[in-house]
Structure 1
Amino acid sequence: MDLQSLRNEKKVIGTKQAIRALKENKAKVVFIAQDAEKHVTKHVEELSKQNNVDIIYVDFMEELGRSCNIQVGAAIVAVLK
């Protein structure tokens, strides 16, 4: 999965939503912006690894937000099953 396909996928944007999706076993893939602050992304990374959910790293929050068709940057996006 890549950033281009992200636009058409069912997804949740943001840390809290991604954590909820991971805890409920609804996340298929998690995108994490590498320029996001570590205290924001650390918990999602840990949960993803515990649940064997693939993590795709993106260079910039702005790039991830644009791929989701929003006007602001996004630290974390979870693609739903």
Structure 2
Amino acid sequence: MLDEALKKSKNRTVGVKQTLRALEKESLLRVYVAKDAESHVVRPILEQCRNKGIQVQEVQNMIELGKACGIEVGAAVAALLSE
């Protein structure tokens, strides 16, 4: 289940590359990962989140995550940025 914070936030990343960049800058509050995303794609993000203590929330599928981010395609990963 997706919370409203991601849907309403303007400060977010969408996609693996943007989320990895934000992880390097340590500017994330929470990461959202689609359950149907390929594991080799999301594994580096999950490992960094675990190491840095960032909360990860699973989303049912990539389509739902994409819609929550306001895009018309699926998204494997999205994240809320800190202010």
- Does the residue aligned with 2:64 lie in a helix, a strand or coil? helix
Aligned to 2:27: 26
- Does the residue aligned with 1:69 lie in a helix, a strand or coil? coil
Q: Percent identity?
A: 35
Stretches of structure 2 lacking an aligned partner (at least 5 in a row): none
Q: Distance in 1 between matches of 2:70 and 2:21?
A: 22
Q: Does 1:63 align with 2:64?
A: yes
Aligned to 1:3: 3
Q: Distance in 2 between matches of 1:20 and 1:5?
A: 21
RMSD: 0.9
Q: Aligned-pair distance for 1:23?
A: 1.0
Q: What is the one-letter code of the residue matched to 2:5?
A: S
TM (normalized to structure 2)?
Answer: 0.91
Q: Aligned-pair distance for 1:59?
A: 1.2
TM (normalized to structure 1)?
Answer: 0.93
Q: 1:9-46: per-residue Cα shift (whole Å, max 9, x none)?
A: 11010101101111110111000001000010000000
- Does the residue aligned with 1:41 lie in a helix, a strand or coil? helix
- Does the residue aligned with 2:8 lie in a helix, a strand or coil? coil
Contact kept, 8 Å, 1:3 with 1:64, in 2: the verdict is no
Moved over 6 A (4+): none
